[in-house]
């Protein structure tokens, strides 16, 4: 046996795993990841110091009722049986009931998720629309004020707490300057005018032709989206700059210059085209992180999204809601990453 290669008798398993990975590739790894997510939420549910039986029957229950509920909840079964039951339950779309709202968690999640999606999407759009050109120009004019700006924006993006930036933003742009609307998604007078078709108020308002509602929703969205988008902008512009610098130092750029190709064409048609593939990955990653980063932002702006739902359930020890929400955010996270993987395969001919 060569040194450090493998333990004896495990070659078959290792090659089976390798084969599995090759054969099922992405699908297999996604399924394993999702299974891992379920294991983690299951374990978290089991380490909660709260007795799950007491949570159902209350602490005045008779010992008989307690025992019966314990059996009904399947808590006398071995852990792996309990996990199987949990798995079956989740796969059938049952995440339990929320103690706080006394509705099924899955319904709550469906109601709150569009708000998070709206916020994260708007923030990513801002990050891409501003961040990509900024990064490209910073790389082209290396050492200029724009280049330094990208560096400062990036550093600040890694140093400022998002919830604090949100509070300062509210103070400045809402209280002092009055440029935007305050916390929440809509002002009081505009609520319940538009039917929630998609749950994304901007879309719903546009579909219904209620432009006043649209304007109000936009005025509410712009500040939280900018705060969240700032972090996406910081990351995207920094990565774009670094990718572009890499391309601009390549020989084909020199060749193009020698041939007399215009600088704009070199930058946008030659170099930029080559960075689109890694850029898609970066944008997807940033989008996935915004879904998560929205937890703190939503709390600051009283934005009724999934993040606010998870934190308010947390503080009330509503574990079904917390785990259901965690599961859905985790799913979205994995989903976005999968999407970026697939896009990578489609866009980059070498990966096919």
Partner 1 sequence: MTAAANRPAGLRAWLREEAPSSRLQANLVQLYAGWRALRRNPLAMIGLAIILVLLAVAALAPWIAPFDPLHQDLANRLTPPGGAHPLGTDDLGRDILSRILHGARITLTIVVLVAVAVAPLGLAIGCLAGYFGGWVDSVLMRITDVFMAFPRLILALAFVAALGPGIENAVLAIAITNWPPYARIARAETLTIRRSDFIAAARLQGASSLGIIWGHVVPLTISSVIVRVTLDMAGIILIAAGLGFLGLGAQPPSPEWGAMIAGGRKYILDQWWVATMPGIAICVVSLGFNLLGDGLRDVLDPKQR
Per-residue string for binding with partner 1, 304-333, x by CB under 8 A? ------xx--xx-x-x--xx-xx--xx--x
Tokens of 229: 């988008």
CA torsion angle for 194, 199, 202, 203 (degrees, to 10)?
-90
Q: How far is the CB of 192 from partner 1 (least distance, A)?
A: 27
Question: What's the closest the beta carbon of residue 312 comes to partner 1, in angstroms?
Answer: 10
List beta partners, residue 104: 97
According to CB under 8 A, which one of 23, 91, 175, 258 is a site residue for partner 1? 175
- Nearest-approach distance from CB 7 to partner 1, in angstroms: 6
Q: Is 17 in the site for partner 1 (CB under 8 A)?
A: yes
For residues 113-133, one letter each, b for 16 or more C-beta atoms within 10 angstroms of the residue's C-beta and e for the rest, the string is bbbbbbbbbbbbebbbebbbe
> Is residue 40 a contact point for partner 1 (CB under 8 A)?
yes
| Cβ closest to partner 1, residue 97 vs residue 320 | 320
Q: Using CB under 8 A, which residues numbered 189 to 248 contact partner 1?
A: 242, 245
C-alpha 61/C-alpha 173 separation (Å) is 53
| CB nearer partner 1, residue 66 or residue 163 | 163
Stretch that binds partner 1, among 32-40, 75-83, 109-117, 256-264 (CB under 8 A): 32-40
- Out of 71, 156, 197, 346, point to the residue binding partner 1 (CB under 8 A): 156
- The yes or no reply on residue 44 touching partner 1 (CB under 8 A) is yes
Q: Which of residues 76-115 bind partner 1 (CB under 8 A)?
A: none
124 binds partner 1 (CB under 8 A): no
334 binds partner 1 (CB under 8 A): yes
Q: Does residue number 161 form part of the binding site for partner 1 (CB under 8 A)?
A: yes
Question: CB of residue 170 vs partner 1: minimum separation in angstroms?
Answer: 6
Nearer CB in complex with partner 1: 245/261 = 245
Per CB under 8 A, residues contacting partner 1 are 3-7, 10-11, 13-14, 17-18, 29, 32-33, 36-37, 40-41, 44-45, 47-49, 155-156, 158-164, 167-168, 170-171, 175, 242, 245, 288-289, 291-293, 295-296, 299-300, 310-311, 314-315, 317, 319, 322-323, 325-326, 329-330, 333-334, 337
């Amino acid at each position: 046996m060569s040194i450090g290669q493998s333990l004896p008798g495990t070659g078959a398993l290792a090659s089976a795993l390798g084969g599995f990975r090759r054969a099922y590739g992405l699908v297999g790894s996604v399924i394993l990841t999702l299974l891992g997510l379920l294991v983690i939420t299951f374990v978290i549910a089991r380490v909660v110091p709260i007795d799950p039986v007491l949570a159902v029957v209350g602490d005045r229950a008779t010992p008989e009722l307690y025992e019966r509920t314990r059996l009904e909840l399947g808590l006398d079964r071995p852990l792996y049986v309990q996990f199987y039951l949990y798995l079956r339950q989740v796969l059938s779309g049952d995440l339990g009931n929320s103690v706080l709202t006394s509705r099924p968690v899955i319904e709550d999640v469906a109601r709150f998720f569009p708000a998070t999606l709206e916020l994260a999407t708007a923030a990513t759009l801002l990050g891409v629309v501003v961040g990509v050109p900024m990064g490209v120009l910073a790389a082209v004019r290396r050492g200029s004020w724009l280049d330094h700006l990208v560096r400062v924006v990036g550093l600040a993006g890694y140093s400022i707490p998002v919830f604090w930036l949100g509070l300062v933003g509210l103070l400045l742009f809402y209280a002092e300057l009055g440029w935007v609307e305050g916390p929440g998604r809509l002002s009081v007078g505009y609520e319940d005018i538009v039917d929630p078709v998609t749950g994304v108020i901007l879309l719903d308002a546009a579909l219904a032709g209620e432009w006043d509602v649209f304007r109000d929703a936009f005025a509410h969205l712009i500040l939280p989206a900018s705060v969240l988008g700032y972090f996406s902008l910081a990351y995207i512009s920094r990565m774009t700059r670094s990718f572009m610098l890499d391309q601009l130092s390549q020989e084909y750029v020199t060749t193009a210059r020698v041939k007399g190709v215009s600088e704009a064409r070199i930058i946008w048609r030659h170099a930029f085209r080559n960075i689109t593939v890694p850029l898609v990955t970066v944008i997807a990653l940033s989008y996935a992180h915004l879904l998560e980063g929205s937890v703190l932002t939503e709390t600051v702006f009283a934005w009724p999204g999934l993040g606010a739902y998870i934190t308010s359930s947390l503080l009330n020890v509503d574990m079904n809601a917390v785990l259901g929400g965690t599961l859905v955010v985790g799913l979205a996270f994995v989903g976005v990453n999968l999407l970026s993987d697939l896009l990578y395969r489609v866009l980059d001919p070498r990966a096919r």
